Amino acid sequence: MQGKLQQTYKVSRELGNHAYFSGELLLSQMPRLSELIIADDSRIPVTFEFGYNEAQLATLKGGYQADLKVICQRCLEPMVTSINQEFTLLIDATDEDIESCQLDSVYTSEGYLNMVEVIEDELILALPLIMMHEDRNCNSYLQAASESLPVETNNPFAVLQTLKGND
Ligand SMILES: [Zn+2]
């Protein structure tokens, strides 16, 4: 059953149970991510489980599927970017363990892990650096400008002029 997930988990208890969780987190719980996108009240389906890897180190494995609204940097119109990601993280690992496993680690606070922050961090890392529509012609001003310019007098500043004119 898909329920709302807790914000924090007591890691020692969940590890002992090899606990598995599936549910939804709310974007509105993630203020740092919300600053980078067009924030709304969307839900982010998430699964994760606590366990141990082959080196007997505590791990958190999971995945999420987020459709985030962002601004296209070519036409400045809203668009949706879908991020599907799986992750494996160590829990409270030493630098040596991180090095030998080639995995990042999350850290508990007094034995509790804040899953909202973990997923928020993962999403921020997974956000594309430059977000644009797949259609390269999504900016009709730019497209019109490049089409109307004869090739021989193609002046790169003309595009800027056109943009200014339409401002
Ligand atoms: Zn666009």
Question: What is the pLDDT at residue 154?
Answer: 56
Neighbours of 74 (CB within 10 A): 17
Ligand 1 geometric centre to CA of 138 (Å): 4
How much distance in Å is there from the Cα of 121 to the middle of ligand 1?
Answer: 26
Would you kindly state where each structural domain of the chain is located, as residue ranges?
A: 3-136, 137-167
Looking at residue 143, what is its pLDDT?
Answer: 72
Residue 70 Cα to ligand 1 middle (Å): 10
Centroid of ligand 1 to alpha carbon of 38 (angstroms): 15
Distance from residue 71's CA to the centre of ligand 1 (Å): 8
Residue 135 CA, ligand 1 centroid: distance in Å: 7
| Helix runs in 1-137, H state only | 11-17, 31-34, 95-101, 115-126
- Residue 72: the pLDDT is 95
Q: Is 166 helix (H, G, I), strand (E, B) or coil?
A: helix
pLDDT per 10-residue tile (average), the chain, 167 residues: 79 95 95 94 95 96 96 94 96 97 96 97 93 90 69 57 55
Cα 75 to ligand 1 centre (Å): 4
Cα 41 from chain centroid (whole Å): 16
pLDDT at 159: 58
Q: What is the pTM of this model?
A: 0.80
21 and 8 Cβ atoms separated by less than 8 Å: no
pLDDT for 1 equals 43
Residue 148 has a pLDDT of: 63
